[in-house]
Each structure stands twice: as structure tokens, then as C-alpha cells.
Structure 1
Amino acid sequence: MSESLENDYKLCEELGRGQFGIIYRCFSLTSGEAFACKSIDKRLLSDSTDRECITKEPKVLRVLAGNAHVIQIHRLYEDENWIHMVVDLCDGPDLYYRISKRGGAFSESEAVSIFTQLIEAISYCHRLGIAHRDIKPDNVLFDSTGKLKLADFGSAEWFGMNERGTMTGVVGTPYYVAPEVLLGKEYNEKVDVWSAGVILYILLGGVPPFYGETSVETFEAVLRGNLRFPARIFRSVSPEAKDLLRKMLCKDASRRFSVEQVSSKTYISFSSKVYFHNLKICECLLGNN
């Protein structure tokens, strides 16, 4: 087996750039198949935390191999200065771009289509004892067919590694981080449910549920956890969707839904209601009433 990226893949145009490296489109020299290559400059890793995040991600992705909604790692290369990860190509606009471009709320049926795929990815991770810990629209990617792929597992953690199933460490992103993380206490995998709930709220309402003018003000709003549904932007959102959001964005993590509960009959009832509502609209438009 060759140990050089250049022997196996041809790097093409740059797709994105992060704190430690660059993402390129690349092609397999044997199959011609297109992938993405995440190239990380190890010389930019300033401390042990950075190094741990970079080295942890490929290990986590190997454990998570096989799910259609989790980005897959295909090859890993490392030399003195660089780490190269060859992963699925997701050249569709990410969810952050889609939300920004929309400039407002998605229809409930559109939100359900995105959300169900995200929940499937999170559920798969949790079944394998892995919490993502930084779920946000920037890390929700789409391939050329529109299929959702959860990405960027640098902050992920194995919560199944201890008997309590808990984790520590302040990680995450303003707007999306769960309150128990900000408190600096032990927490469990339900932090991902909170983050997914924030995304669903934004999809349905067009604005985040907890926000401030600064990061500090946003964190304070998250810690208060005062969930509201302003009538002017949630007027057309179903009671089932609001009920689901209350259960996902519950400040008390012991009462918050698990990802399995989100996927349960309560959620199925919510998504089915949306489906049949849209079906009824189509029937009326076609004159089949």
C-alpha cells in the first residue's frame, strides 16, 4: 500500500479553509471517483488540545463508518508536517449557507426533511457511544444529491468510556451549546439533542431561540433557557413542532428528550401531520377535495 497522498489522489481546487488547514476537491487516480481532502498543517497546532482534536477525528470517523448521514473517511495520510484525510465530497451548500441565503424560516415540511436526516446521524453516533458536541449548521453538509452528512468530529467524545456515561469540558459554539456545558459540570450526550433543537428552531422560526449582542450575552440567554415562540414568526408552525422543541430545549437535561425519544412516536406524529397537511393542500390544488 502506498503511503503518499500524491501517489493515490490528484488534488484540485480549494473548497474551504479552516484554522489549521485547507479542504480540496480530489480524485482517485485508480477509480476517478471524486472526494474531499482535508489537509491539516501540524505546524499550526499550538497546544495539546489542538493536537488531540486533530488526531481524534479520524479515529472517531473510523468507528462511525457505514452510516449514510455521517461523513465517511476513506484514507488517512500523515507525514512530518501534514495530516491528510480523504473523506466524502460534500459540494452542496452547507446548512449555514442555506439558512443565510433563505433569510427567513423554512416551511415545516422542508425543516422535517432536513431534521430527520440530522436526527438519524445523531442517533447513530449515540448508539455507538459517541457525542458530537459541536452540532451547528456549519457542520451539517450536503452532497451533490442533497443527502445530509454530519461532519467535523474534532470535538467529539466517547461518553460510553465510563460507567456514568458523562463527559466534561467546555466545547461548542454560541447559540448552539447546551446550558450544562457552559456551567462546567459533567454532562451527557443530550447536549447534542439541545443543539439539534436549536437548529430546528432556526429552521422553523428563522432566528435562534437564545441570542445576544455578544457571545457573553448569548451564553447568558442560553443559561436562562427562556424558550418562547413569538406569534409573528411561529404562527404557522404546528403545535406538534413546538411541543417537540420544548422537549429538546429543556434546560433540565434529566427531563430533556434523548435522541431515541425524538425519533419516537411523538416525533413521528409531528412529521406525519406535516406530511398529511401538505398532501391535503396538493389534493385541494388538484381539485381532489
Structure 2
Amino acid sequence: MSTAAAAAMPDLTGCTVDGRFRLTRMLGSGTYGVVYEAIDTHASSAGAPATRAIKITRKADRKKHELAAARREIALHGLVSNHPNVVTVHDAYEDDNYFYLVMDFCTGGDLFEPICRQVYVGNDALVRRAFLSLIDAVEACHSLRIYHRDLKPENILVSDDRSQVFLADFGLATNQPIVQEFYCGTAAYMSPECIGHLSGFRPYYTAFSDIWSLGVILVNMISGRNPWEKATLTDPCFVQYVENPDFLFDALAISEGVNDILRHIFLLNPLARLSLQQLRLAILRLDTFFRQEDELSVVESYARAPAPQEQQQQRAAPAAAPSRPVTACRPSNVVSPQPHCDAHASRPPSPHSPTVQRPPGLSSLPSLGGEGRSTGSQSTVGSSGSGASSQEDSMVVTPENSAVGVVVRSNLNEEEEEAQEEARRIAGADSHRIRLEDTKVPVAEFLFPRLDMNVRHDHDHS
């Protein structure tokens, strides 16, 4: 959790906001905003819940486009706020110093915590219900042309029994289906095209990028691990996955059905990924998310075997403190005693090696173990610049050289087919000649009738 906002803003605990919300304690802090638990002193005994969560975002030292982004977050969140799996927004306003966003208070906390405590591991029914509710939330957003762009456990709240989730934090959300902003989000959850190296920094479709993030979250819930630190050719685990799409099946105790789903999400060609509707159906049809005991015993016997000499020599050194959100976790004994983000896994041994390759095991993947969340885990706002490394320049994925075929989906509606056709046109165009503004849908005037967006001057909490 970033503490930048908490350090730059006064502690407002004990203050009363809008003459009715008494701030009782700080729940979390980001780059520009702080979230407080608050008591609604105007709530009737038989009426709405008395407890709210209020996100307070500072205006000081913010550029004009950053202030516009804060207003966009409120508007987009409000548009989808009525969905049962999106955190409800009750009110929003601003004064001279801050933006205020009044939301439901979720007593279950965020998804990060139960993942770290492995609440979902081994519980098929719980994983299914929670993940389906997340798919429903994202699908509701996409149906309104709202693309989250920062899906991760820390931005997802959960019910007390952990069976339902509620999508939150629309700070990086956009209503643009195709963008040319890179490194927008959180590294471990970014799709390759969002990072930009493997796609030649071409415009990409934000909906497909959200689907990639859902795949990473599914791995988190089932295993308590991240599949890789970052989807680039500098990441050892991602390299192993590119070379062997069954890498996660070899490394984790996931079922063949889950492995098949992940293989159809983690495709370098975004147009070939599962749609949300297909993903939902696949989750419903799964018998189990986890490897059966007899299968698991075989994997564990491999994992206990000594690693090949060549793999030992190629093993990467442990990384420094992680810089992503779910790398470090409060319980130190969740998965691994070492909260290293960089994978220790090597590339598969040479084909000339006489040693039989073994599955790398859980110790190969970035863990979620450790004390506290990473101090560098805050989301990053994308830039339109490019800076691909020479290694990754040599493997730019385009529709022409991609080894993954485009899946023809018969269940797409006319609007989705048009969007995919537009994405294909952009992906195949010269990125230096394309005019991005030609690919954008008109920005609608956001209608948020429940909220008073006029500047208020009747209270000052500076």
C-alpha cells in the first residue's frame, strides 16, 4: 500500500465531512487519496447502514489532466454503481481542497487478504461463486463501455463469507475501447500489449487486457501465487510459459480444466482470448479447480526430486523486495517463507541434456508470502512512449507472425464483431501513421444525477 497520500494530507480522523459523516479510522492510502471508515450520523435507526467508506482525494499539486482523471473516476464508477457486484456509490462532491467519494463499507475487506490466507484453496464452490461474481462485475462494466484497467485483489472487496466480490477503485478506468497508453495498471496484472514490448507499442483493446488480468487473479485465488512478475521476456516465469504453455499446470496444483482456461486467456494475440461470456461458461462447467490427490502425489514426487544440474546453474538469484501488489502478504507463512517477486525458475534444460526435466514446483513462481504489502505496489498511470528492449524487439507479435490463430466466435453480437474488426485494423496498421483519435468512441457527457458535482465551499478540512 502506498503511503504517499497519507504523508501529504493531514490526518482527518475525527473530522466530520459534509456535516454528517464522522471519520473514525483510516482504511488505506494510495498515491493521491486516502480511504476512511465513517459513521453517517444522519442515518435513521431503521434506514441505511450507518457505516460508510469515504475516499478523499487531494487536489493540491495536481495537474489539470490529473484533476480531470479524478472526476472521471467518480463518473465512471457511478455509472456502474447499481450493479450488485460493484461497490455502491452514494454521493460524491468536491470542495477547494479535496474530492469526496461516499461508498458502501465492506466489512469483509479486500480479496488480497483471503488469497494470502489461502481461504479459496481446495474449496471449489467458494472459488466458483466468488470468481463468477467478479466476471459479472467486469461484464457489467464492459457492457457500458467502461474498462477497469487495474483489476487486482487489492481493488476487489469481498463479503464476510468470501463468496461474493465487489469491484472498486476506478481510478484508471476508461471509456475508450482502444488506447495507446502503456504500463497502465499494476505490473503483475498487465497484459503484454498493455506493457507494449511484445506488441511493438501499438494501440490495443482495453477489454481484452481486462480479461488477461482476470486470468492472473484466478491463479491467485487457486494457488496463492502469481504466475509471473511481469509479462515480458525479461521475466523467467513468463519466458517458461511462452516456451511451454503447460508451464502453470506443471508448476501448480491446478486441474486440467483450469489449465485449459488459462491457456485460452494467456494468449499473446489478444483477439484469440476467451470472451467474458465464454469464460463464465467455462467456469460453470468445471468439475474442479484443483488437482486430484492421485495426480498431485505424482507432481509432488517430481518436486521433491533434485533439480537437473543445468537448471541449478541457470536459476535466477532472489530478487529484492517486490514492486507489485500481491507479491508480499501479511501472513508470513502463507505460501513461501521468502516473498521474492522474481521467479527462481530456469528455462527448460537443453534438449541434448540427458536429465529428464521435472516440473519446477511452487517454489518457482512469484509468491504472495511475507509481512505487509509491498511499498511499491501502487498502480501506475500509463504513458504513450515506447522503450522496448532489444530482446523483446525481436519478438514483436503481430497478426501476421503470431503463432496463435484468431478464434472465430459465433456468439458475438454485432457491436462486439465491429469492435474486434476495429481492433484487427489497428493491430495491423503502422503504429507511426495511425491517428489514435480516429479509433476512439465519442466521449459521452457523464450523467450522474444522484451526485452534486458543484464545488462546495461550506466546509474546509484543510
Partner residue, 2:106: 90
Partner residue, 2:270: 253
Partner residue, 2:25: 13
CA distance in 1, matches of 2:122, 2:86: 23
Do the aligned partners of residues 219 and 71 (structure 1) sit closer, same or farther apart at CA in structure 2, a change above 3 Å counting? Answer: farther
Task: Kindly name which structure, 1 or 2, has the bigger radius of gyration based on alpha carbons.
Answer: 2
CA distance in 2, matches of 1:215, 1:246: 17
Partner residue, 2:211: 193
CA distance in 1, matches of 2:288, 2:119: 22
Partner residue, 2:130: 114
CA distance in 2, matches of 1:114, 1:14: 27
Structure 1 position 193, deviation (Å) = 0.6
Question: Is residue 66 from structure 1 mapped to residue 78 from structure 2 by the alignment?
Answer: no
Partner residue, 1:75: 91
Which stretches in structure 1 are left out of the alignment for 5+ residues?
160-164, 279-289
CA distance in 2, matches of 1:195, 1:223: 19
Q: Is the 8 A contact 1:5 1:77 kept in 2?
A: no
Structure 1 position 173, deviation (Å) = 0.9
Do the aligned partners of residues 27 and 151 (structure 1) sit closer, same or farther apart at CA in structure 2, a change above 3 Å counting? Answer: same
Query: In proportion to residue count, which structure has more helix?
Result: 1
Identify which of 193, 211, 221 aligns with 2:229. 211
TM-score (structure 2 length as normaliser): 0.52
AA matched with 1:21: G
AA matched with 2:74: P
Alignment: residue pair count: 262
CA RMSD of aligned residues (A): 3.0
AA matched with 1:6: D
CA distance in 1, matches of 2:221, 2:40: 36
Structure 1 position 137, deviation (Å) = 1.0
Question: Is residue 267 from structure 1 mapped to residue 267 from structure 2 by the alignment?
Answer: no
Q: Is the 8 A contact 2:128 2:284 kept in 1?
A: no
Do the aligned partners of residues 21 and 223 (structure 1) sit closer, same or farther apart at CA in structure 2, a change above 3 Å counting? Answer: farther
CA distance in 1, matches of 2:111, 2:98: 29
Moved more, 99-108 or 127-136: 99-108
Q: Is the 8 A contact 1:175 1:218 kept in 2?
A: no
Which stretches in structure 2 are left out of the alignment for 5+ residues?
1-15, 45-49, 293-462
Partner residue, 1:176: 189
With a CA cutoff of 8 Å and minimum separation of 6, indicate the structure with the bigger relative contact order. Answer: 2
Q: Is the 8 A contact 2:150 2:172 kept in 1?
A: yes
Partner residue, 2:386: none
Do the aligned partners of residues 232 and 187 (structure 1) sit closer, same or farther apart at CA in structure 2, a change above 3 Å counting? Answer: closer
Query: In proportion to residue count, which structure has more strand?
Result: 1
Give the share of equivalent positions with the same residue, in percent: 26
Partner residue, 2:153: 137
| SS of aligned partner of 1:43 | coil
Q: Is the 8 A contact 1:104 1:207 kept in 2?
A: no
Q: Is the 8 A contact 1:179 1:223 kept in 2?
A: no
Identify which of 237, 246, 255 aligns with 1:238. 255
Partner residue, 1:281: none
AA matched with 1:175: A
Q: Is the 8 A contact 1:94 1:142 kept in 2?
A: yes
Partner residue, 1:30: 42
